[in-house]
Structure 1
């Protein structure tokens, strides 16, 4: 035994090598775990596709959001928009298969832009608004045929198609409100919200939170949301037939009650003239019951360009007298007192942008002067000034400007002071203002949150591992140091 002990003391290298190897392994393990534990995690994204089937056109929106959710509400942002060529799907009532065919090009774009591995789990929705509401009222079988054609086309793509349906006016208004406030970060931060004003071709919506409204006076106008841990009781109302295009039909119907062969319309420019068929004018459910008996085939629609007279005619399509509630907007519809700022989008923005009136610092009196001057401009001169604008749209801006002012001030009761609190918006932070983002945002609550990538070790396990390795390394250092000093102390001393 003494001989073996003496041999080990004379040859310490095997033990030293073992200690060094263990030390290297400990150091490598510590470095490897630390690097893996602190590597940046790859972000997982989910995608959603919403088709906005409006009265005049259809648009496809692609949204993405992190798989992890904030307070059960996914952080959604718009990544792509595709405008479908042609009119809205309600226009294909007599040829429903064309409604589905019209969507194919934009759907192919979506298939390319959404990562292939996410196709099967990406929800696809189609929401139809006022155009299909009117078609459904007029001819429900035609409406059903259009939806069947649309669904057949959408089922051919590898997405998780959730169906096509008609949104109620209340939903359209409420989701537009969500969009405006979400993009402005007001929901996440719990700030005072902004009202939403939406003007489409066949309907118009107003939505806002009022401290004076608890939903009891008119429950049908109340919508409740829970977003980012906060509850919102929202007033919202949609006026079918009061979108820009249908309001134009109401205006012309009001002026053709006696079946004239010519009308002089103050809402169109001096020198404007066009033949309009009575059957085409009265083909909408908004005016079909007003068609005069014995009307000729067409009438000559001419313009006089008088803004004040135009406002008087526009007012005639509203009912401002009847109200059974404490406060009303028009046509006997309840509306609480206006409160806060408002975002006005869709046709509100496009019309006021054309007239250079989107600046909120422009007072209401000046807005009226600008529109009045534009309406009085001769039609030939208007066409020369705007050669790139389609004649159909160009002719309607005088009416549209007068209609918007009348709707806002006489209909919704905006005053000279509160009008300056309206912001005309097209996009917010790169996303289009409208109902589709709010719709997608709300629907993410029904999509299960995907578990995020996690580090190799939980935090407690990581700390424990580092501690054990550090202690082991410390022990190895102590053992090595002790053996070194012991060998030094046993060497013969030179006297």
Structure 2
């Protein structure tokens, strides 16, 4: 009679089947548990109420990575029709009404089920700072009108407020370095140069600055486990539009009827009102007594002379610190690359001067040729650009160059470290993203925890362990295996 094979006994078969099922279940659960889920997103909305216009930005990030590792990206932007909210000083309710079209766009772009949880912020910058200085009662009325309009939206309204110049500069720096992934990786940071209509900001990290000299220009951040001491300063009245007013105020101190302007093209001529020119806190105290109602603004188109006129906008003589930029403001030695955005980009892009390979001397030569171009030819070359804006590019380009070289102390060498940028990885450069990241705590002070193993590595290790368990199981039932050698049958 043959000896029974123990492997074929019911108990052995049951144990084997259970073991195989357990291993398959282990691997299946591990894989399913760690499979990427269908992505869900959260949203945030920030309105940038600048001096010349208001823009709305919608940001999006993965919902399951909220408050630590979620990558925030710009989903959509909308430019509000009309001027900045500070321009509605004589009719504050219209400031709120102007936002409606862009708010309707936001309702379409953000999924309806996310409306109630989407934070909505409005930050007002230099235009409203000037209005607040000039007439706080009117400024408050404009904010009330804006608040009333935004509270009617389906979003989670978080307030409208006046940003300090230092905040505007610091949040612009955060935006640029966040989008470039320099903060999370602890890389050398990029300085931020922001130019608006009414103010300009410079922000950067310098090894020579610890915040002790001129502490008012210091902001300290701890981001992703790294400490940053940031130098930042905002110059109110030194945005390109207000600087233009200051320059023309210098020209019109004697109240002339004709102003020959080297920063305007030859053949340019426009009649302007003294009351409009001096209608700003930046120049209101300089208005000449007994000036006529209007003056004829004519162009001569001379870049070198324009430079000399623009330099008079700045004060380079006063400095009580170890070193200054202008107007007696402390500034440490420039360090690292810089990103120049907002009006820096738009002006230099129009003038075809954003290429980093263009030397400073080439920029000056191109501006010289551009400013000398007759006004009729300029209008013919740019038929779609409004003459009001077209007439300002010679001055704006010259002002930017003078601000960077004479104001901030860039040299012919360090000028090549400036990158003129509009967007970084699809998101607009500016203070709005940094502002929202700060208010929503999307950048942790400490580096976020990460799994010890990547997903693929984790699944591989689990699979190997499961196979090992199966092998050990087979070895454990070795005594039940049939003998390899044939035994003699008993008759």
- TM interval, short-chain normalised: 0.7 to 0.9
Q: What SS does the aligned partner of 1:353 have?
A: helix
Q: What SS does the aligned partner of 1:62 have?
A: strand
Q: Which residue matches 1:48?
A: 44
Q: Give matches, 1:227-238, under 5 Å.
A: 227-238=223-234
Q: Which residue matches 1:373?
A: 369
**Mapped partners of 2:444, 2:179: distance in 1:** 23
1:271 Cα deviation after fit: 0.7
Q: What SS does the aligned partner of 2:279 have?
A: coil
Q: What SS does the aligned partner of 2:193 have?
A: strand
Whether the 8 Å CA contact 2:67–2:444 is kept in 1: the answer is: no
Is residue 431 of structure 1 aligned with residue 427 of structure 2? Answer: yes
**1:355 equivalent among 351, 370, 375:** 351
Whether the 8 Å CA contact 1:72–1:228 is kept in 2: the answer is: no
Whether the 8 Å CA contact 2:67–2:441 is kept in 1: the answer is: no
**Mapped partners of 2:211, 2:443: distance in 1:** 29
Q: Give matches, 1:297-312, under 5 Å.
A: 297-312=293-308
Is residue 139 of structure 1 aligned with residue 120 of structure 2? Answer: no
**Mapped partners of 1:38, 1:446: distance in 2:** 24
1:102 Cα deviation after fit: 1.3
Q: What SS does the aligned partner of 1:420 have?
A: helix
**2:181 equivalent among 181, 185, 193:** 185
**2:387 equivalent among 386, 391, 404:** 391
Q: Which residue matches 1:196?
A: 192
Q: Give matches, 1:320-359, under 5 Å.
A: 320-359=316-355
Change (3 A) 1:73 1:322: farther
1:33 Cα deviation after fit: 2.7
Q: Which residue matches 2:360?
A: 364
1:274 Cα deviation after fit: 0.5
**Mapped partners of 2:444, 2:211: distance in 1:** 31
**Mapped partners of 2:295, 2:154: distance in 1:** 50
Change (3 A) 1:317 1:469: same
Count of equivalent residues: 478
TM-score normalised by structure 1 residue count? 0.87
Q: What SS does the aligned partner of 2:188 have?
A: coil
**Mapped partners of 1:239, 1:325: distance in 2:** 17
Change (3 A) 1:209 1:264: same
**Mapped partners of 2:69, 2:221: distance in 1:** 11
1:388 Cα deviation after fit: 1.8
Larger Rg over CA atoms: 1
Q: Which residue matches 1:214?
A: 210
Q: Which residue matches 1:277?
A: 273
1:340 Cα deviation after fit: 1.7
TM-score normalised by structure 2 residue count? 0.87
1:258 Cα deviation after fit: 0.9
1:475 Cα deviation after fit: 10
Change (3 A) 1:14 1:157: same
Q: Give matches, 1:416-495, under 5 Å.
A: 416-445=412-441
1:120 Cα deviation after fit: 2.1
Q: What SS does the aligned partner of 2:144 have?
A: helix
1:96 Cα deviation after fit: 1.4
> Which segments of 5 or more consecutive residues in structure 2 lack a partner in the other structure?
1-7
Deviations 1:196-236 (A, max 9, x none): 11110000011111111111110100011111111110111
Q: Which deviates the most, 168-177 or 412-421?
A: 412-421
Q: Give matches, 1:9-20, under 5 Å.
A: none
**Mapped partners of 1:135, 1:195: distance in 2:** 29
Alignment root-mean-square deviation, CA:
3.4
Q: Which residue matches 1:8?
A: none
